[in-house]
Amino acid sequence: MRSAAILFLVPGAAHAAGTGVVGENLLWLALILLSARLFAPLAQRLGFPAVLGELLLGVLLGNLSLVGLHYFDGVAKDPIIAFIAELGVIVLLLQIGLETRLADLVRVGGRAAAVATIGIAAPFALGTLLAGPLLLPGLSQNAYLFLGATLAATSVGITGRVFRDLGRLDSREARIVLGAAVIDDVLGLVILAVVSGLVQSGKVSPGGAAWIVVEAGLFLGGSIWIGRLIAPHSSRWLARLDAGPSMLFAQVLATGLFLAWLAHVIGLAPIIGAFAAGLLFEPVFLRHFETPRIVQEAAPLLPAGERGKNLRALMEKHARHQHESMIEPIGYFFVPVFFVLTGMQVDLKTLAEPTLVAIALGITLAAVAGKLAAGFAAGRGVSPWVVGWGMVPRGEVGLIFAVAGRQLGVLDEALFSVIVIMVILTTLLTPPILTQLLKRRAQ
Amino acid sequence: MRSAAILFLVPGAAHAAGTGVVGENLLWLALILLSARLFAPLAQRLGFPAVLGELLLGVLLGNLSLVGLHYFDGVAKDPIIAFIAELGVIVLLLQIGLETRLADLVRVGGRAAAVATIGIAAPFALGTLLAGPLLLPGLSQNAYLFLGATLAATSVGITGRVFRDLGRLDSREARIVLGAAVIDDVLGLVILAVVSGLVQSGKVSPGGAAWIVVEAGLFLGGSIWIGRLIAPHSSRWLARLDAGPSMLFAQVLATGLFLAWLAHVIGLAPIIGAFAAGLLFEPVFLRHFETPRIVQEAAPLLPAGERGKNLRALMEKHARHQHESMIEPIGYFFVPVFFVLTGMQVDLKTLAEPTLVAIALGITLAAVAGKLAAGFAAGRGVSPWVVGWGMVPRGEVGLIFAVAGRQLGVLDEALFSVIVIMVILTTLLTPPILTQLLKRRAQ
């Protein structure tokens, strides 16, 4: 029998083998892919958003070790599955970017900046000055600062997914939250840099903090501006070489991956780059590519004149969204992996200590209150509750901050657990609440 | 600035970070994705098949170190990129399976078995008894046996891709080659097991060899038979839960990944499992799922009666192939990674020694002659040349055998290089020759 061992002894041979670099990953991906599709509709039947189903599936798989099943313990730590999850959230933000018009985002720019600023300042102040000293007395000032920084974080993945699942990405609330989340990511970096600087050397570097803001601004503005200058021309060149769907697909996805990498390199979250890539493609830039095959084949069959008008309009709409339809299956594959893995980060053992849970509930209250306050900075004509709850989930960003704090020795195990519970609660509570708010508003 | 180091210090934190587990992979994937799409049409303009463009791009990237550029050295060895490549060839064989009707394959079963048997026996005999002792005198009998085993291998990825790119998967030649390649993979395992047994213990275990055949037969027959029993029911159950495209997609892809894993577990190539998964889904099994959105939206707009007949037929065809259209972008993303990485395995330094190249040319001749002989076992009404050349590429399977031989200490560096050159030549020569043969036949 062909020995698996042979395949792993020689570098490079494993992939050449075509016989499974870590074959187990194939099974894990199959299980995540299919069971996410079972949990998502089940959650929807119970009135919850699909993403909650995927998160809870993750919580379940990640905590099976509590009942002695250790099969999935390796999944959350596997670098290949982690990379697929990473691709998942990058693809999600690319999709959200493609479905968002830049002009709409710019129009709410001022409101988004206000929401982002309050959404950072209010939870930071609440955590550092009130909830921290009150609920966890006797800790160092640095610990309170880090707690505040964690509360200031925003994770746009969860909220974006809820808006997208409900087809509400084109609402003013969605645009404000998306814009604010992008600004938040930058401000969050500044806070983390400042707080880490304070903790490590006892002093803040104003130049360093300013540089992060400038760099992030240059990246965002520059990539979208340059991208929109290049995209019409690159599309024409690429379509001249091959006007088929694979080239169109490759241009959009490769741009998303490239800007995600670029964002990562300059220290921003890759998802910011992916979102920027989505924003820079307008359907009109992509008009040099062939229309989808069904549109081509239907063209000679369409009735002439007035009678075929609606069908022609439908075909045009389908052609205009060709690139989004092609990214869609990539999302079906990758996106659930991200949410299931996010759920797997939840360690239910942290919920076993009543005191910690009580403190965590208090911290969570501060976390929610701070972001809801930001919602009221969104101005007239939008629901402050939708915007506020849209900013609530801390998700993976909150976890990064907590991990950084533990690395620096500022957060002890107890405070770390409190923060993890806060992250869990804000992440799991938001999807159902936001869904209810949006459904009520739609009526 | 958010330190990348933080993200890699804590297990599990890296993915939770959402900030790039090995961010460099994002850039590599973007580069491979886009440059493969540049090379493929360039190759086609010069009259070569697209896959040759991707292979040559790989050869180029993999040998940039010869001119002092070492940036891509890490790509071929990166386990994440290797896994993506692995997914690529799995997705390709799933697609080929979906586009192949099982009944058509069964109909050519006898011919495929004849082609496979001759295609194993002839090159094995040529390599072990003639080309080996003649061109490389003085080596051990074991070395000749291993050389023969390498010549007996077949890699179906390259050939399947050429047939698919030219839209000729429905030809009788394609079916015979596909069927023979599946049988070949099993017989190849037997040969490798027998030869390895001979080398290691000096004796063959007939029971072990027979068990491989039985196990592989059970797997193939069992998975397709049980799969086809289950698929109509599972489709109905899954569609009742969620009849949307994401569920349809998840069912097909998860089955592909699962059977690929199962094949790997029992020692077969994962691609055999992916191919079996593709064979077990017939469009009729999937009728419980919703039709694509454009078909739904077009339905009320279609002209009644005779006038709308052609449009209705077009919509039905589109709906029937919905699952294939959704797997297509997954292929755009993953498949080129496999072929580029296969190209990167080619070490041009092996071509620097004239004696070795001369010997390798002789061995390549034997490799081609043996498989062409098999083409003549395909029987009447099909082109023996198309079938024969279809079996020629050794690709990654030939490399596995060579690597196994080196592991066992049977193949020295010189013979290993000779085999690698043979694998390169058979892999790179086949696409253009097969394309010419198929184009001439189509006239």
pLDDT digits (tens, 9 = 90+) for A149-159: 889 888 777 88
In chain A, pLDDT over 90 holds for what percent of residues?
A: 32
pLDDT reading at A332 higher than 90: yes
Structure tokens given for A68: 């002695």
pLDDT given for residue A3 in this prediction: 31
Chain A CB within 8 Å of residue B254 CB:
yes
Are the Cβ atoms of A30 and B396 closer than 8 angstroms? no
Q: Which candidate, B78, B146, B222, B155, places its Cα nearest to that of B411?
A: B146
Pairwise CB contact (< 8 Å): A341 & B15 = yes
Report the predicted TM-score, pTM, of the whole model to 2 decimal places. Answer: 0.85
Contact indicator for A331, B326 with CB cutoff of 8 Å: no
pLDDT per position in chain B (443 positions), as tens? Answer: 233 323 322 233 333 333 344 588 999 999 999 999 999 888 888 877 788 888 889 889 988 988 888 888 888 788 899 899 989 989 998 998 898 888 888 888 899 999 999 999 999 999 999 988 999 888 888 889 889 988 988 877 788 888 888 888 888 899 999 889 888 877 877 787 777 777 777 766 777 777 777 888 888 889 999 999 999 999 999 999 999 999 999 999 999 999 999 988 887 778 888 989 998 998 888 888 999 988 888 888 888 877 788 888 889 888 888 999 999 999 999 999 988 988 887 778 877 888 888 999 999 999 999 999 999 998 888 899 999 999 998 876 777 777 778 777 888 878 888 888 888 888 888 888 988 898 887 76
Looking at chain A from residue 331 to 360, which residues have their Cβ under 8 Å from any Cβ of chain B? 332-333, 338, 341-342, 345
Q: Using CB atoms, which residue from A29, A76, A82 is nearest to B257?
A: A29
The token pair at B6 is 């933080």
DSSP B382: S
B372 interfacial to chain A (CB closer than 8 Å):
no
ipTM above 0.90, yes or no: no
User: What pLDDT shows up at residue B443?
Assistant: 67
- CB < 8 Å from B in window 70-99 of A: 76-77, 79-83, 85-86, 89-90
Task: Dump pLDDT digits (tens) for A67-108.
Answer: 888 888 888 788 899 899 989 989 998 998 898 888 888 888
R_g of chain B, CA atoms, integer Å:
23
Cβ A14 vs Cβ B78: under 8 Å: no
Q: What is the model's pLDDT at position B249?
A: 95
pLDDT at A18: 38
CA distance B23 to A439: 38
Cα B83 vs. chain centroid, distance in angstroms?
14
Average model confidence (pLDDT) across chain A: 84
State the pLDDT at residue A11: 30
Asked whether residue A33 carries a pLDDT value surpassing 90, the answer given is yes
Q: Nearest chain A Cα to B298, which residue? A: A311
CB A119 within 8 A of CB A374: yes
Q: What is the pLDDT of residue B381?
A: 86
Beta carbons of B220 and B183 less than 8 angstroms apart: no
Candidate from A10-19, A216-225, A296-305, B99-108 with smallest mean pLDDT = A10-19
Question: In the numeric block, which tokens belong to residue A1?
Answer: 């029998």
What is the reported pLDDT for A250?
A: 95
Report in angstroms the alpha-carbon separations of A3 from A9, A59, B397, B439.
Answer: 11, 36, 13, 40
Following DSSP, what letter does each residue of A319-370 receive, concatenated?
HHTHHHHHHHHHHHHHHHHHHHHHHHT--GGGGG-HHHHHHHHHHHHHHHHH
pLDDT of A171 higher than 60: yes
Is A427:A394 a contact under the CB 8 Å cutoff? Answer: yes
Of B83, B257, B406, the CB nearest to A21: B83
B156/B181 Cα distance (integer angstroms): 6
- The Cα–Cα gap between A91 and A253 comes to 8
Higher pLDDT, B227 or A400: B227
Is the pLDDT reported for residue A291 higher than 80?
Answer: yes
pLDDT at B204: 67
Cβ neighbors of B244 (< 8 A, separation 6 or more) are B289, B290
CB atoms within 10 A of CB A27: 18
What band does A443 get if pLDDT is binned at 50, 70 and 90? low
| pLDDT computed for residue A1 by the predictor | 29
Query: What is the pLDDT, as a whole number, of residue A22?
Result: 59
Q: Quote the CA–CA distance of B28 and B69 in Å, as a whole number.
A: 15
What is the pLDDT, as a whole number, of residue A116?
92
Task: Name the residue in chain A with its Cα closest to that of B6.
Answer: A404
Q: Is 50 exceeded by the pLDDT of residue A373?
A: yes
Task: Tell whether A207 is within 8 A of chain B (Cβ).
Answer: no
Average pLDDT score over residue span A168-187? 86
Quote the tokens at residue B91: 């997705």
Using the predicted structure, report yes or no on whether residue A399 has a pLDDT greater than 90. no
Task: Judge: A18–B326 Cβ closer than 8 Å, yes or no.
Answer: no
Cβ(B27)–Cβ(A258) under 8 Å?
A: yes
Q: What is the pLDDT of residue A204?
A: 66
